[in-house]
Amino acid sequence: MNLTSPSQVKAWCIGNGFHPNRVLGQNFLIDRNALEAIVDAGLAGVTIDGGASVLEIGPGLGVLTEEMLKRGCSVTAVEKDPVLASRLAESLGNPPNLKVIEADALDWISHSPFDAMVSNLPYQAGTRILLELVQRREIPSMTVLVQTEVAERLAAKEGSKTRGLAGVWAQLDYDVKIVRKVAASCFWPRPEIGSSVVKLVRHDRNIALSAMERDVFRRLTKKAFEHRRKQLGSIFKDLIQSPARAEELANEDWINLSKGIAKHEDARTVS
């Protein structure tokens, strides 16, 4: 089956009595150009010789899986839907470099010793999955297809209206770049909004942060963005004397604040 052919994908679903589940975010990519763009971006800088180990979350019918296998990757595909999980390996010819795991990614993620992740993330749980992975800092490169509004939040810099907790947390250990937009017409069923390819590349600029400083950083920023319309001085009282709001601070500012609080053992006051 040509997985980028809308008619063939629809025919398979109809013939097998399969109905894409919107709750699970099952919008299958059916555009060849978009497919190649995400795989090109995802494997850029990844050594393929010897079979790079790639994590894919939500493989669906296997359009990304198939392309990455063709390029010599060893793919671990985590699929929550039991119907799709049971058919994936056989439909691709049972390749030896494919491992399919039927599980909820949020339950399965415990250790991720992969060279890269390349995924069309499920709409509903995509952000939660990505934030879980960035906090683990185990995967050097992650390229994902997410809703454009999510992509913009992940890449937003200080002062931007789209700046939020997801971007602050992701950028602590990853450089985030929007690679390209993908129209809603490139999926079936067609979603209501467009998507974008985002690439996150791990950096080591904050590698020296202690566990306590990281904990303070997360709690400090979480509390600040829960009250993003308020000035920081009114949220944190004696800790921060600033008229700025949460989205106005750069990650370097949050890091310096976190270090100061951790140093003076005032971390409990951020809770």
The torsion angles phi and psi of 60, rounded to 5 degrees, stand at 60, -125
- What is d(CA 100, CA 91) in angstroms, rounded to the nearest whole number? 12
By residue count, the chain amounts to 271
Claim to verify: residue 29 and residue 141 sit in the same structural domain: yes
Say which CATH number the domain at 247 has. 1.10.8
Kindly list the averaged pLDDT for each block of 10 residues, start to end, along the chain of length 271: 91 87 84 96 86 93 97 95 95 96 90 89 89 94 96 97 96 98 94 95 96 95 93 84 90 94 68 57
Shared domain check, 217 and 197 = no
For the entire predicted model, the pTM comes to 0.92
Number of domains in the chain: 2
Helix (H) / strand (E) element for 126: namely helix 126-136
Q: Is residue 133 located within the same domain as residue 89?
A: yes
Regarding whether 236 and 165 lie in a shared domain, the answer is no
Tens-place pLDDT, residues 150-209: 999 999 999 999 999 999 999 999 999 999 999 999 999 999 899 999 999 999 999 999
Q: Read off the tokens for 8.
A: 């063939």
Query: Are 41 and 179 contacting, i.e. CB atoms less than 8 angstroms apart?
Result: yes
Which neighbouring-strand residues pair with 29? 187
Whole-angstrom distance, CA of residue 166 vs CA of residue 144: 14
Determine, yes or no, domain membership for 1.
no
Q: How would you class 139 by CB atoms within 10 Å of its CB: exposed for 0-12, middle for 13-18, buried for 19 or more? A: buried
**pLDDT, tens digit, for every residue of 36-47?**
999 999 999 888
Instruction: In whole angstroms, give the CA distance from residue 233 to residue 131.
Output: 27
Which residues form the domain of 44? 6-202
Residues 176 and 103 in one domain: yes
